[in-house]
Amino acid sequence: MTRELYRADQLPVFQNRMFSTAEAAQACARGDVALVQDAQTGLVFNSAFRPELMQYDADYQNEQAVSSVFRSHLDEITLIVERHFRSRSLIEVGCGKAYFLEHLQGLGFKITGIDPAYEGDNPKVVKARFSREAGLQAEGLILRHVLEHIQQPADFLAELHVANGGDGTIFIEVPCLDWICSHRAWFDIFYEHVNYFRLDDFRRLFGRIHESGHVFGGQYLYVVADLASLRDTAQAQTERFEFPADFAASIGRFADRIRTRNAAAVVWGGASKGVIFSLFMQRAGVRIDCVVDINPAKQGRYLPATGLRVSSPGEMLTQVAAGADIYVMNGNYLAEIRRMTQDKFNYMTVDHE
């Protein structure tokens, strides 16, 4: 039995897939989000999710390590990995483009990656799904920003448990639903993310957690747990979860400001948050004049749904007058953005309104 908590209709299926034309971007595949809480397990997920829509390809661009701020976050994660896995064999499940895996390799970790969509040529990455048939086992598993994309996450963890011989230590990092709610971050609800986790969810999932906490300014949570202690969440006590009544109230406030200000409106961040923020502003009837991203793979290409073109910081500086409003999609990057733009603008951190 489930209860609906939040709904957002017709969001782009991939908020990080980039397009070569505005028309193709506007015609992107879309899907509905209906977040519900399962009364038995306590887990929050999108009941309207359709996995057959999820086909990742080379146009999917989500590399965040271009930013020194995000690289500092990875340094913090590395310290956690050092504490628990320094002399142990590792598998990174869902290693993506293998940036973090290669970072750990450079530090001397014995690590193998596995990801069916991997496109590189690192011989330590297996292009497959982690299962018993893959024939891989390690003392530690790393699962960074994977579990939020997986339907039936408890079943997936159970598969990992079996594939790894019923043993080992697992590190999991995912976005934090409590942070999303406390910051009224409606722009952090994406179709790609089937699941939305709280630390309490992992306390129910695992009997033995060695370490847990929040990173990246609280936006992400992590746990280091024994795989052997995985348990059935349907047997656990769950609490009723609710979204704040004013969760989406800032949509109207931001739209009113853009509508009444005699200045350009710039969105800084052409990734997930910027895609959703721009779409909701467009639906509110206001114009976003420019979208900026420091990732060269996004520049000159177009955001899904809105068809807005992504500019480089340098291009934006030549086109937008000083004093314009820059809507900073992630407050963690504010100091970096101020430096890159010589502090010439009015900066609105949408997650710290």
Q: In what order do the strands lie in the sheet with 2-12?
A: 2-12, 30-38, 44-46, 195-196
Lowest-pLDDT choice from 28-32, 215-219, 235-239, 275-279: 235-239
Measured between alpha carbons, how far is 106 from 94 in angstroms, rounded to an integer? Answer: 19
- Tell whether the model's pLDDT for residue 60 goes beyond 60: no
Could you tell me the CA-to-CA distances from 317 to 145, 273, 326 in Å, in that order? 33, 22, 12
Band of pLDDT at residue 70, cut at 50, 70 and 90: confident
What is the distance, to the nearest Å, from the Cα of residue 268 to the centroid of all Cα atoms in its chain?
17
Looking at the DSSP bridge assignments, the partners of residue 311 are 292
Q: Which domains does the chain have, with CATH numbers?
A: 2-53 (no CATH), 68-231 (3.40.50.150), 250-352 (3.40.50.20)
Could you tell me the pTM of the whole model?
A: 0.93
- pLDDT per position as a tens digit, 133-168: 888 999 999 999 999 999 999 999 999 999 999 999
pLDDT at 193: 96
- Cβ pair 70, 103 in contact under 8 A: no
**Measured distance CA(112)–CA(92) in Å, rounded:** 6
CA 151, CA 22: separation in Å to the nearest integer? Answer: 31
Q: Name the CA dihedral angle for 22, 25, 336, 246, rounded to a multiple of 10 degrees.
A: 120
pLDDT, tens digit (0-9, with 9 covering 90-100), for 222-262: 999 999 999 987 666 678 999 999 999 999 999 999 999 98
- Model confidence at 110: pLDDT above 60: yes
Compute the mean pLDDT over every residue in the chain, rounded to the nearest whole number: 93
What is the predicted pLDDT for the residue at 315? 97
Cα separations (Å) of 158 from 62, 188, 205? Answer: 28, 27, 10
